Structure 1
């Protein structure tokens, strides 16, 4: 029998060398196979995911380009409508006679429009079945004008903008606004913009994407815009793919002229154009390979770490298991110490379970208690923990918080303070209610009324001061204690009072321990508005640093007032700061909405640092917006000054100093803005206007003398006038008159 038992144990000897070898080989084979399958699956999924993301990014990029393109075209249509309703243009279109003053004003208006819109090449009019160019930076030849005239007469509505291509290959987009005798009829009169597509595409594709090619086709297949030089063959193949979807594979690959691309296309939302994005397949493949390589390195690093951990765990498990099996073989008995160890582990496990259940229960009751204290609901009833009458008890509410919010310490700190209070006020029940949203916690201190220890206010305050004096890492602890609560219905009111005391920490004015008496000693008068006048003045003048210093002084100066007055004052100040950036004053309703918004934001802040950051951010935003508004107003004044110059350039006394003084701008800054707007200096611009008028006067009147022409145009010196005229036009005034 003994030999039989030995034979059985020999077959089941897990510690034998042969058994360990077989198990090791089995684990390696199974683990290796599982690893190969897992790596293959992960990388297969990653490749598919990467391609989907590249395609999704391409579509999103096309949507953004479509939005910008449509915005540009809408802008030009809007400018067409505005120009069409200008009195001078309206008069010109409907009139068959020539008027020098009207034609001059019309030309100046259109010239300014072209200057401000750099992509518009020229502006023309269509009337009496004829198209002619009025002004432009580059004038078309007769063949192009005839083509425009033909296409306009064949158009059915104003949304049919068309593309022209010059012999040099330059494309132009014709946008027009016309009047027609009937719906889809032939146009009778109108205004035309010719947009240089090369300049428009430079604006549209200002930020190039490496490895990406973008092209926009019209609904007839004509290429409009592109960020790369597409060949005619490439454009033809792409348009065929859009028309019949030939050559478009399931994985969104397309081959054009021997090059492989990831292909994405979409129709425009408004006008029927087609947008195409080609992403170089080799570039995307290289990026995917790089991402795969990085993922592989991370995967292998994690795998090595897991294997190392597994080996360490195997060593920790294998040797105890070997010893356990040897005990079984020798039929050894379990000792009393092992039984005691088992009971100890069972007890520890039970304690952990009870602790977790207790924490879950505490969280549930905390939410119920805080909900009742904030807004009592008779339907739900009073939480058991707050009941006083049935048990003949009274209580104190104590709200604790930290000077600077530290969420990681709130739970630990509440348990420590609870333990200290239990030792200091023996015989009392101490309950903790944690307010996770506020990073504070409420302690409910209850006792039977006959004990009457917590009714000694001085005794309780002394204990709380000893607790709050134990600050950690410079972060002080504060608390607010209510008066003794005898009735359950008084609990919500007591809680609201100590919660209001907590907010005094917002201005850094709170003592470590506060009671309801501290609320009664504050000044409840209205805080004078003169306190924030210096702050508003600094913001108006753009002195951000001075305004921040003033706001810090202000927060100290309002400390004697009640917190309710302080909240009202600060919310009103926030509205005043916000209002400084508005060009139009707020009406009563808007003011009230702003006031309530700022009031809620300030009331939700936790400490003085947050309050300072709130107002500093408000000041920064207001100063920045004021700066933008001032800059905008200055530019509007420069535009107004151009109108003034147009009316007074013939006056010999006009100069940059007088114009700058009239519009209340410094001479140097006005000169800088003038150069940015016009592209030339003030004297150059005045001379250009005077010479243009003199040329027109010489053309229109052959009798008037050269000297008189110079005087009327604003030149006081005849020789200077002649020299400037020859410099601009290549002829002296008299020479120009001879060639007419």
Structure 2
């Protein structure tokens, strides 16, 4: 007789089967979780590695691009220098100019940190090199050949010798784009020095390389030239834009990521040692595995504890409160008040967010010009038989109080009960736009004689409440929707009169209608600009309030345009400043945007004041430099003509276009003695040399040659300076 197997939950064998089943299910579940987790971890790690690589490449790209821009700016500054420009564009040379240019360009190289020398050329056959190192003949040949092959100044080229590699950037003058340069300046930058300073040398698992589009290496990453060329050839055979590209070098695998900058025409490449990355990932996986297993075990224990200690008491609690109407016995009123407060706060926050979104949408429509945009419902007029007015409010402050909108809304709602009232404000703006709307048949908004006193009284009430002066502008009565945008823009233009301190209550476009016929004459700025050119900073700044007062009689649109033009003219007061048509237009638009973004007259005065001070400071620096150069030329002229009998301070001052008194003052500060003392000192020194060189020469003859009118005066001055008579010096 067969024995049938019978399951008995009290049997130990049954409990062993259950334990084995549950353990198997738990192991499978954990294996699935870990497999999914590590798969995700691998993908996530690769993505993180790629993002970090691209971040480093972008940082390197930004650093090199910023340095290239800075170096080109240095070339532009050097090009604008009067001595260098004169040297490049003329064939005249002097030892003084050559010495000055050499000193200037040597300082430029030292301050740059990467540059070794600078090359100036006036033609294809005339190159001169300056700096702290003179280039080798091989470098010179490459520079002079490669610069003539360039098509524009955005290019750069690399020159290589047996032990050096330099990057050359340049600024040139060409007859046209695509034509060889006629003259220019070339910067030669040491790439080895650049790599040491721009790239950290402590990175073990990463190599950073920079190539030009034709495969020339700019930064080698401390690799040999053969290895760098091998990497480029491998990359050329694959898609360089693919993330996490794998390449093999000498049986070692590397992850490669690259970035291309089409402006600088450079490829930035980063190689990461795959073995090092895998080793680090293995350690992280091990730590993650231990953490996951421990977390699962702890979670299982917590689940059992919480199920018994928390779930069942909560279930009992909720079953009790679900069976009766009371939440907390004896505290019904408190619970109801708390619920009401919470609800009011939530509703208030939702209302504020909705109101701001609504304001942004309305103001965006009114300020736009797109005719295809649907008009917001709150602004509709024709299909509802309504007309409306716009009111624009602002104060003497740069902001509106938090309660301003609600206060003015309450007053308007009380005084204009038959109107629909809407308030719109841009985030952070110092003004508030109110829309008053009513049926056409009502007609209360069309009676200006009744409306004006009411609006002024409301404005006065608001001024008392908020403790500041309040202004408002009113649009014309709007009956057609096509007039909404023009009237809103007209109100914003009326707000700009606040820049001139002309804000008032009840402003309308008719108030300033007569000013549209007047053009602002440019001559009112002549005296102001003349003071700037002469470096009279304080006088020019003191004239600014008077100038703005004079502009107050003109239309604000023309004032804004005229002030923008004035700012451009102020910038052109810099000595030797010549703006092209495009530069002038760009500066004009920049000043117009900045001026229209100002709020009140103090902002406008400060803007013009800072611009004036900046220009006057640059002029004073330029004048100081020019005066020093003139004094150098004057001393050189005196040293060449001091033996002339007719030389005098009046003659030298006239030659250098200065008054006698001003020249004498400058000369005394520069030479440390007066003009006659300087002439006498030169003549006596020359006389002493003649007496020593010619023992038989006559004393009277020496006095005549050196420009002294009498022998006695010559002898007295000679003895006063040297302590010996002329004859004693001659005999010695």
Give the equivalent residue in structure 1 for 2:469. 476
From 360, 363, 377, give the equivalent of 2:353.
360
Give the equivalent residue in structure 2 for 1:417. 408
Task: Check whether the contact 1:482–1:494 (CA below 8 A) recurs between aligned residues.
Answer: yes
Instruction: State whether structure 2 residue 431 is matched by structure 1 residue 440.
Output: yes
Q: Secondary structure at the match of 2:421?
A: strand
Give the equivalent residue in structure 2 for 1:499. 492
Give the equivalent residue in structure 1 for 2:515. 522
Following superposition, the deviation at residue 588 of structure 1 comes to 4.6
What TM-score do the two structures reach when normalised by structure 1? 0.52
Instruction: State whether structure 2 residue 662 is matched by structure 1 residue 690.
Output: no
**Structure 1: distance between partners of 2:687 and 2:571:** 52
Give the equivalent residue in structure 1 for 2:294. none
Following superposition, the deviation at residue 585 of structure 1 comes to 5.4
Q: Tell me: CA distance 1:537–1:651, structure 2 relative to 1, closer, same or farther (3 Å).
A: same
Q: Gaps (5+ residues) in structure 1?
A: 1-59, 90-104, 120-157, 162-172, 185-218, 220-241, 243-247, 251-332
What TM-score do the two structures reach when normalised by structure 2? 0.53
Task: Check whether the contact 1:396–1:482 (CA below 8 A) recurs between aligned residues.
Answer: yes
Give the equivalent residue in structure 2 for 1:456. 447
Q: Secondary structure at the match of 1:349?
A: helix
Q: Deviations over 1:307-345 (max 9, x none)?
A: xxxxxxxxxxxxxxxxxxxxxxxxxx9888721221122
**Structure 2: distance between partners of 1:178 and 1:717:** 60
Following superposition, the deviation at residue 364 of structure 1 comes to 1.5
Q: Secondary structure at the match of 1:435?
A: coil
Task: Check whether the contact 2:695–2:731 (CA below 8 A) recurs between aligned residues.
Answer: no
Following superposition, the deviation at residue 492 of structure 1 comes to 1.1
Number of aligned residues: 468
**Structure 2: distance between partners of 1:576 and 1:706:** 63
**Structure 2: distance between partners of 1:382 and 1:554:** 43
**Structure 2: distance between partners of 1:437 and 1:182:** 61
Instruction: State whether structure 2 residue 634 is matched by structure 1 residue 641.
Output: yes
Following superposition, the deviation at residue 116 of structure 1 comes to 12
Aligned pairs for 1:268-667 (under 5 A) are: 338-378=331-371, 380-407=373-400, 409=401, 411-436=402-427, 438-469=429-460, 470-471=462-463, 475-584=468-577, 586=579, 588-656=581-649, 658-660=651-653, 662-665=655-658
Following superposition, the deviation at residue 356 of structure 1 comes to 0.7
Q: Tell me: CA distance 1:520–1:541, structure 2 relative to 1, closer, same or farther (3 Å).
A: same
Task: Check whether the contact 1:534–1:550 (CA below 8 A) recurs between aligned residues.
Answer: no
**Structure 2: distance between partners of 1:176 and 1:680:** 41
Following superposition, the deviation at residue 564 of structure 1 comes to 1.7
Q: Tell me: CA distance 1:406–1:703, structure 2 relative to 1, closer, same or farther (3 Å).
A: same
**Structure 2: distance between partners of 1:477 and 1:505:** 12
**Structure 2: distance between partners of 1:523 and 1:182:** 65
Q: Tell me: CA distance 1:115–1:535, structure 2 relative to 1, closer, same or farther (3 Å).
A: closer
Task: Check whether the contact 2:359–2:425 (CA below 8 A) recurs between aligned residues.
Answer: yes
Following superposition, the deviation at residue 683 of structure 1 comes to 4.0
Task: Check whether the contact 1:635–1:673 (CA below 8 A) recurs between aligned residues.
Answer: no
Q: Deviations over 1:65-114 (max 9, x none)?
A: xx99xx9xxx9xx999x99xx9999xxxxxxxxxxxxxxx98x9999999
Task: Check whether the contact 2:699–2:727 (CA below 8 A) recurs between aligned residues.
Answer: yes
Q: Deviations over 1:282-309 (max 9, x none)?
A: xxxxxxxxxxxxxxxxxxxxxxxxxxxx
**Structure 2: distance between partners of 1:483 and 1:160:** 71
Q: Secondary structure at the match of 2:403?
A: helix
**Structure 2: distance between partners of 1:621 and 1:549:** 15
Following superposition, the deviation at residue 670 of structure 1 comes to 3.4
**Structure 2: distance between partners of 1:183 and 1:506:** 62
Aligned pairs for 1:662-673 (under 5 A) are: 662-665=655-658, 669-673=662-666
Please identify, of 345-354 and 695-704, the stretch whose mean Cα deviation from structure 2 is larger.
695-704
**Structure 2: distance between partners of 1:729 and 1:673:** 28
**Structure 1: distance between partners of 2:723 and 2:531:** 56
**Structure 2: distance between partners of 1:684 and 1:556:** 54
Task: Check whether the contact 2:392–2:491 (CA below 8 A) recurs between aligned residues.
Answer: yes
Task: Check whether the contact 1:575–1:594 (CA below 8 A) recurs between aligned residues.
Answer: yes
Aligned pairs for 1:116-135 (under 5 A) are: none
Aligned-residue Cα RMSD (Å) equals: 5.3
Task: Check whether the contact 1:649–1:689 (CA below 8 A) recurs between aligned residues.
Answer: yes
**Structure 2: distance between partners of 1:536 and 1:361:** 51
Following superposition, the deviation at residue 505 of structure 1 comes to 1.8
Task: Check whether the contact 2:694–2:730 (CA below 8 A) recurs between aligned residues.
Answer: no
Task: Check whether the contact 1:468–1:513 (CA below 8 A) recurs between aligned residues.
Answer: no
Q: Tell me: CA distance 1:477–1:181, structure 2 relative to 1, closer, same or farther (3 Å).
A: closer
Following superposition, the deviation at residue 468 of structure 1 comes to 1.6
**Structure 2: distance between partners of 1:732 and 1:532:** 65
Give the equivalent residue in structure 1 for 2:320. none
